[in-house]
Amino acid sequence: MRCLYFALASVVVLSGCKREGTAFTAPRKLAGKTVSAEVLNEGQVAYLQYCRACHGDQGNGEGPAAIGLRPPPRNFTQGEFKFGWVLDQKLPRDEDLVRIVRSNLHGSAMVGWEVPDEKLTTIIQYIKTFSDAWKDDDAVGEPVVPAPDPWVGKESAAIARGKLLYHGYTQCLTCHPAYASPEEISAASQQLSQKPTTEFRPHMYQPELKDSDYTAYGYKVQLLPPDFLVNTIKSPRDETQLADLYRLLVAGVTGAAMPAWDPNVLPEKTSDVWALAYYVRSLVQLRQTTAGLALRAKLNATPQPQPGDVKGGPR
């Protein structure tokens, strides 16, 4: 009755009524699975109730509550996701999307929404209809499966190895802050790649703002890599969970400058991924501690190394 009344009143509202569960009349094939019109219609209704405020009617991240959110809500029409933890930067599996919605992207506006399970299942199918990326039968990636942790009981050795890789091999410090002296960085790169770093980016003790693939309101979204001593990291279900750090390092943050690390390109393969995870965790655990604040203050006070300050060559 209400719909009829509004339908007569305006075309805009007519489309509003259509959204109340009548948009889909035929099943859709989404990432190789056939999803019924009924599920999609239910998903649409639940989406409008729980997600629309931020992600918008059209799934483009321009909902009424999105204004001013940094980072902005995901634009589902792009068909790209940051925290799927799957290989080859492909699309996440349904269980990955459930994890993302349930687990809270810490420090962002995307908090762990309490949507009933049966509704969430339908919402997840519905959000796939916003992008053609899901039409491809093998659009979805294989999950990252962590290898066994070789460092159990050897935590300080793992942290030391991770610190060496971070500063001397895996280039984390080109985006995230450095946490070591120029001399330590040079020695680490000499040890791991026989090529000592002698030039350092300006403000290397601060994170560097990076472009991403994501857009909002027609603009490219820039993202600040976290300073592990200061910022929360978003996707691990618990920031101190090493296996989740492992998953995100191997998967990368798709579309966000944060590369995916294939363990095979690291000197000690999966053992080095674990070492990086231990090192990141050790920094996270210093956050808001006296030792962490002291380290941040020391880094802030370290002068920018000038050309020639750190000499190249074996030492």
Distance of alpha carbon 44 from alpha carbon 113, whole angstroms: 16
Question: Alpha-carbon distance 159 to 90, whole Å?
Answer: 30
Site track for ligand HEC across 2-41, x = CB under 6 A:
----------------------------------------
The letter for the amino acid at 307 is P
The one among 43, 56, 59, 71 contacting ligand HEC by CB under 6 A: 71
Q: In the set 140, 229, 253, 299, which binds ligand HEC (CB under 6 A)?
A: 253
Choosing from 51, 178, 250, 310, the residue that interacts with ligand HEC (CB under 6 A) is 51
Distance CA(232)–CA(282), nearest Å, equals 13
Enumerate residues 155-184 that contact ligand HEC by CB under 6 A. Answer: 166, 170-172, 174-176
Binding test (CB under 6 A) with ligand HEC, winner from 30, 40, 54, 204: 54
How far is residue 174's CA from residue 197's CA, in Å, rounded to a whole number? 12
Question: Which residue is associated with the tokens 């009424």?
Answer: 64
In angstroms, the first-to-last Cα distance of the chain is: 83
> Minimal distance in Å, beta carbon 314 to ligand HEC?
25
Beta carbon of residue 106, minimum distance to ligand HEC (angstroms, whole number): 8
For ligand HEC, which stretch binds (CB under 6 A), given 32-40, 150-158, 253-261, 298-306? 253-261
Contact status: 266 vs ligand HEC (CB under 6 A): no
Contact between residue 163 and residue 279 where contact means Cβ atoms under 8 Å apart: yes
Among residues 35, 74, 70, the alpha carbon closest in space to that of 52 is found at: 74
Q: Does 115 bind ligand HEC (CB under 6 A)?
A: yes
Is the distance from CB of 233 to CB of 253 less than 8 angstroms?
A: no
Determine which residue in the list 19, 33, 135, 210 makes contact with ligand HEC, applying CB under 6 A. Answer: 210
Q: Which two tokens stand for residue 125?
A: 């199918």
248 binds ligand HEC (CB under 6 A): yes
Spatial CA neighbour of 43 closest among 113, 101, 129 = 129
Query: Minimal distance in Å, beta carbon 135 to ligand HEC?
Result: 18
- Please state whether the peptide bond connecting residue 150 to the residue before it is cis, i.e. omega within 30 degrees of 0: no
273 binding ligand HEC? (CB under 6 A): no
CB of 285 to ligand HEC, least distance (A): 13
Burial class (CB in 10 A: 0-12, 13-18, 19+), 3: middle
User: Cβ closer to ligand HEC: 213 or 309?
Assistant: 213
**Residue 160 CB neighbour total at 10 angstroms:** 15
Q: How many CB atoms lie within 10 A of CB 206?
A: 17
Residue 113 interacting with ligand HEC (CB under 6 A): yes
Report, in Å, the least distance between residue 49 CB and ligand HEC: 9
Site string for ligand HEC, 276-295 (x = CB under 6 A): x---x---------------
Nearest to 310 by CA among 128, 183, 134, 142: 183
Does 223 engage in binding with ligand HEC (CB under 6 A)?
Answer: yes
Structure tokens at 269: 């393969």
Query: Site for ligand HEC (CB under 6 A): which residue of 101, 164, 180, 185?
Result: 101
By CB under 6 A, name the binding residues for ligand HEC. 50-51, 53-55, 65, 69, 71, 73-74, 81-84, 97, 100-101, 105, 108-110, 113, 115, 123, 166, 170-172, 174-176, 210, 223, 225-226, 233-235, 248-249, 253, 256-259, 261, 276, 280
